Amino acid sequence: MAKATKKKSTVKVPKAKPLKAKPLKAKTVKAKPVHLPVPPDMPVAKGRVRRAVLLAEAKHLKPLELPQEGDAAVLDRLWTTIEARRLSGDAATSHSARLIARGTPKVAQKLGEEAVELVIEAVGRNREATIAESADVLYHLMVLLVDAGISSSEVWAELRRREGISGIVEKASRPRPKALMAIAQTSKLP
pLDDT tens across 113-161, in order?
A: 999 999 999 999 999 999 999 999 999 999 999 999 999 889 989 888 8
Residue 20 has pLDDT above 90, yes or no: no
Cα-trace Rg, the chain: 36
Report pLDDT for 121: 95
Structure-model confidence comparison of residues 180 and 117, the more confident one: 117
pTM: 0.57
pLDDT tens across 37-84, in order?
A: 666 665 555 556 667 767 776 666 666 666 666 677 888 889 999 999
Fold category of 73-165 in CATH: Helix Hairpins (1.10.287)
Structure-model confidence comparison of residues 166 and 140, the more confident one: 140
Neighbours of 21 (CB within 10 A): 5
Distance CA 118, CA 134 (A): 6
Structure-model confidence comparison of residues 81 and 12, the more confident one: 81
pLDDT band at residue 21 using 50, 70 and 90 as cut-offs:
low
Report pLDDT for 109: 96
Residue 190 has pLDDT above 60, yes or no: no
pLDDT tens across 95-109, in order?
A: 999 999 999 999 999
Neighbours of 186 (CB within 10 A): 9
Positive or negative CA dihedral for 108, 110, 113, 119? negative
Distance CA 82, CA 77 (A): 9
Report pLDDT for 186: 60
Distance CA 186, CA 39 (A): 42
Report the half-sphere exposure of 56 (CA within 13 A, side-chain side): 14
The DSSP annotation for 3-65 comes to PP-PPPP-PPPPPPPPPPPPPP-PPPPPPPPP-----TTS---TT-HHHHHHHHHHHHSSPPP
Report pLDDT for 112: 96
Task: Output b/e per residue, 141-174; b: 16+ Cβ within 10 A.
Answer: ebbbbbbeeeebeeeeeeeeeeeeeeeeeeeeee
